[in-house]
Amino acid sequence: PVNNDQFINNLKSFALKAGLVIVLFTISLVILAFMTTGNGPSSYANNVLKELKSGNCGSIYQMASEEFKSQTTSDEWTEVCARISPVLAGEHNQQSVQIETVDGDVKIAQTNYRVKGDNETDYRVTINLINKAGEWEVDSLGSTAIEPEA
């Protein structure tokens, strides 16, 4: 004979565990989506690279941290950006994103790209971001030519 109360308790326990698994899975998906889209550092760096490739130097300067702006004037940045952006004409792919919490709520991220240049040279573009008050900002960026493999 089957005890109805025991059967009902087992069914409730199973339903509770299944519900918990579904909730945890949903939370994991939300965290993953945040890290790869929207306001995450990967998405922000993609926007910075898009602005750089388009030659929107002023836009990038507006996205920069106070530290960046204290070391580089708008005119200096525009001069550097104007030299870099025409070279980065080709396709790009994001090679890595590293995120680290350095002090309480302060986060830093480094995003590396490989970009085809206008002269068939590939370039490594590194975009360093900082997040102090819940918003990502450009802390530094640079590009170097990648030597062709022999």
Write down the pTM of the prediction: 0.70
CB 127 within 8 A of CB 143: no
Tens of pLDDT, residue by residue over 13-64, are 877 777 766 766 565 544 444 444 456 899 999 999 999 999 999 999 999 9
Give the model's pLDDT for residue 78. 94
Residue 95 has pLDDT above 60, yes or no: yes
Give the model's pLDDT for residue 34. 46
CB 63 within 8 A of CB 94: no
Q: Which of 60-64, 109-113, 123-127, 145-149 shows the lowest mean pLDDT across its residues? A: 145-149
Contacts of 52 (CB under 8 A, 6+ apart): 60, 81, 84, 85, 88, 125, 141
